[in-house]
A = this chain, B = another copy of it.
Amino acid sequence: MKEPIYIGLIGFGTVGSGVVKVLQDNADLIEKRVGQPIKIKKIADKDLARPRIVSVEPGLLTTDVNQVLNDPEVSIIVEAIGGIEPAKKIILEAIGKGKHVVTPNKEVIAKHGEEIFKAAEKMQVSVLFEGSVGGGIPIIRPLRICLAANRIKEVHGIVNGTTNYILSKMHIEGRDFEEVLAEAKTKGYTEADPSSDIDGYDAAYKAAILAAVAFGAKVKLEDVYFEGIRKINQKDISYAKEMGYLIKLLAIAKETREGLEIRVHPTLIPQEHPLASVSGAFNAIYVKGDAVGEVMFYGEGAGAMPTGSAVVGDIIEIAKKGFIPPLHFEEKKVRKIGEISGKYYIRIQAPDKVGVLAAISSVFAEKKVSIAAVAQKETVGQVAHIVIITHITQEKAIQEALSKMKGLPEVLEISNVIRVGLES
Q: B residues within 8 A CB of A295?
A: 136-138, 297-300
A-B contact pairs, 26 of them (CB 8 A): A23-B149, A25-B290, A26-B150, A26-B290, A32-B216, A138-B138, A138-B142, A142-B142, A142-B146, A145-B313, A145-B317, A146-B310, A146-B313, A148-B312, A148-B313, A148-B317, A149-B311, A291-B306, A292-B305, A292-B306, A292-B310, A293-B306, A294-B299, A295-B297, A296-B299, A297-B297
Q: Are B294 and A296 in contact (CB under 8 A)?
A: no
Q: Which positions 291-338 of chain A face chain B at CB distance < 8 Å?
A: 291-300, 303, 305-306, 308-313, 315-317, 321, 328
Does A130 lie at the interface of the complex (its beta carbon under 8 Å from any beta carbon of B)?
A: yes
Does A249 lie at the interface of the complex (its beta carbon under 8 Å from any beta carbon of B)?
A: no
Q: List 4 other contacts, CB 8 Å, given A136-B292, A274-B277, A296-B299.
A: A25-B290, A26-B151, A138-B147, A146-B313
Q: Are B291 and A22 in contact (CB under 8 A)?
A: yes
Where the two chains meet, the residues of A that have a C-beta atom closer than 8 Å to any C-beta of B are: 18, 21-23, 25-26, 29-30, 32-33, 130, 136-138, 141-142, 145-151, 216, 274, 277, 289-300, 303, 305-306, 308-313, 315-317, 321, 328
Interface centre among A142, A300, A311, A317 (most CB of B within 10 A): A142
Assembled-state Cα–Cα distance A388/B146 (Å): 44
Interface centre among A145, A216, A313 (most CB of B within 10 A): A145
Assembled-state Cα–Cα distance A149/B25 (Å): 10
Known contacts A298-B296, A298-B298: A148-B30 contact under CB 8 Å: yes
Known contacts A277-B274, A298-B298, A309-B149: A291-B26 contact under CB 8 Å: yes
Assembled-state Cα–Cα distance A216/B145 (Å): 22
- Nearest-neighbour CB distance to chain B for A287, whole angstroms, equals 9
Assembled-state Cα–Cα distance A300/B308 (Å): 29
- Nearest-neighbour CB distance to chain B for A290, whole angstroms, equals 7
Known contacts A130-B146, A147-B309, A149-B313: A292-B298 contact under CB 8 Å: no
Q: B residues within 8 A CB of A23?
A: 149
Q: B residues within 8 A CB of A293?
A: 136, 299-300, 303, 305-306
Q: Are A300 and B305 in contact (CB under 8 A)?
A: no
Assembled-state Cα–Cα distance A309/B293 (Å): 9
- Nearest-neighbour CB distance to chain B for A21, whole angstroms, equals 8
Assembled-state Cα–Cα distance A48/B361 (Å): 61
Q: B residues within 8 A CB of A305?
A: 290-293
